[in-house]
Structures are given as C-alpha cells and as structure tokens.
Amino acid sequence: MANASVDLGRVGLWTGVLDSMPSSAANELCAEAAELGFQTIWIPEAVGRDPFVMAMRVLENTTNVKIATGIANIYARDAMTMANAQRSIEEAHPGRFLLGLGVSHLHLVEWVRKHDYSKPLTYMREYLSLMQKARFMAVGPNELPEIVLAALGPKMLELAASETAGAHPYFVPPEHTEFAREIMGPDALLYPEQMVVIEEDPDTARSIARQHMKTYTALPNYANNLMRLGYEAGDIENLSDNVVDAVVVWGTMDSIRARVQAHFDAGADHVCVQVLTEEPNQVPDGWRTLAPVLIG
C-alpha cells in the first residue's frame, strides 16, 4: 500500500444499508464487521443520513472500525464546514476517519440541492483550495487530514493525484483501476469499489446485479466512464451481460476472490466490496460469507 495516514486494511466494505436501520443497530453491525476482519466501512451521501453524523455515531460506539465517506458531496456544505467537520472527527478519533469527496451528479446537485453543476471539475479544484485555507479555531489538527476524491475521468484523476492523497473510483471494473493507476502514477492512493453478488446461477446473479446497476448506468458520469473503457452505449443502456459481468462479480468464492485480486494486480491499494442483494437485510449475511474469503 502507498503511504497512507489512515490504515484502511486490504479489503473493506462499501454500503448504503446503514440508512435502512436505526443508528443503534448500525453501530452494532459496524462493530460486527470489524470483528469479521473488515477494518473500514465506506458510507455514501445522497438523500439519507448525514455522513458526518453517521461517522461520529459509529466511531463513538465502536473501538477499532474506521469510517470512510464514499463520498461526501461538496455541494452539500461549504469548504470551511467540510474541512472543519473533518478536523473535528480527526480530533475525536485520530486515524479512524477518511474523507472521500466528490462532485456527485447533476440531478442530485441541481434538481435536489438547487446548485449550479455547470463546471464540477473547476468547482472541485477551487473547493479543495478553500478547504486548505479554512480557519479552524478549536482543538484539533492544523493541517487537513487525508482526503481522496471520487474520480473517474483523466482530469479528475489528475486532480486527485496532485491535490489530494488519491482516488476512490466507484462502479468500475479492474481495467479502470489500471487506467487510473497509469494516470495518477505510483504514489497516489487508489481505493476502487467492487460490486459483488453471492450467487452462482447466472440468471439470478445478473438479475440482482441489474436491479442495482440501472440506477448508475442512467447517470452520465458512470455511463461515460464505461464508454471511455470501450463499452458500447447500447450495451450500457440495456445492461448487456458483458457490461454486468464487467462491473459486478458473481459466482464462486474463487471468482469473487480473483476479481478483487484483479484490482490489486491493476494497482489498487485497497478495495472496498459492496454486496448486492435482493433485500437490504440480506447484506450482512454476505459480509459474513465473504470475510473468510477476502480477509487474510
């Protein structure tokens, strides 16, 4: 692993399932995940719980699990608020929180939050600069702790490598990990997410995968990224088998282990797996199944 200030472990978990349960139950589930061997849990920000509140709740009620945001939306709060929320968590729980930032998507920024999404790359660059300049008149770190960016295309990957610790690409196959590593160079951190369906029947596995993937392939950021990697627009729109199989790994435990390893072989420093199931309450069972396969 590259020189990271937050030790995420080799394989972590990415999940939105914590929003589907009371926060007390979420704390217990995160503690169990840590006992299983998953050091880090990545949580999103969309229209659910505030990720900083969630992170503090989990960190206060567990002993060794780490929380990473995958990602905190930079349009949801100004740069000073973001920087000082990060500092506040670091002061309370040193080395247990990683801030992942992203520009989110047009519909969530313009339609839901009523902000201008016309120049997301420029906005991110300026936002990072303002975070570095943010005043913080409280007990805590003067220097900003480690940050990674949700980055897919070459320009955002370059920004992630030059202005932050690295990148957290989401909804990507291993060939994107190779692409990202080539652009960012050997020193930037690279933490891709990998979707997993624990099912060996092809029809059932792909049906579960498509249920989740349709949300993402409808978004230009993700569709454009797959086309950049050589996938056809029609295949992406229709979720053809080759697109499903590229983004989501399913099948035997050996197949799942091999896909995660493919990200490491392509240059990943840490891989966070997202278990996809028909119902949210089935996700923790997937963690229990994967732990002995992926943690070693």
> pLDDT tens track of the chain, all 296 residues?
457 899 999 999 999 999 999 999 999 999 999 999 999 999 999 999 999 999 999 999 999 999 999 999 999 999 999 999 999 999 999 999 999 999 999 899 999 999 999 999 999 999 999 999 999 999 999 999 999 999 999 999 999 999 999 999 999 999 999 999 999 999 999 999 999 999 999 999 999 999 999 999 999 999 999 999 999 999 999 999 999 999 999 999 999 999 999 999 999 999 999 999 999 999 999 999 999 999 97
Three-state DSSP class for 204?
helix
Q: What's the confidence (pLDDT) of residue 1?
A: 42
Q: What's the confidence (pLDDT) of residue 2?
A: 56
Q: Are strands 72-73 and 66-69 parallel, antiparallel or unpaired?
A: unpaired
**All domains of the chain in start order, with CATH:** 11-294 (3.20.20.30)
Residue type, 255: S
Q: What's the confidence (pLDDT) of residue 4?
A: 86
Give, in order, the Cα–Cα distances in Å from 31 to each of 6, 36, 45, 148.
18, 9, 21, 24
Q: Identify each DSSP E strand in the chain by its residue range.
A: 11-14, 40-43, 66-69, 72-73, 97-102, 147-149, 166-167, 189-190, 193-197, 248-250, 271-275
Q: Identify each DSSP E strand in 44-161 by its residue range.
A: 66-69, 72-73, 97-102, 147-149
The token duo for 101 is 């930032």
Three-state DSSP class for 151?
coil
Tell me the β-bridge partners of 66: 40
The token duo for 270 is 């840490």
Give, in order, the Cα–Cα distances in Å from 262 to each of 68, 170, 176, 234, 266.
22, 15, 11, 26, 6
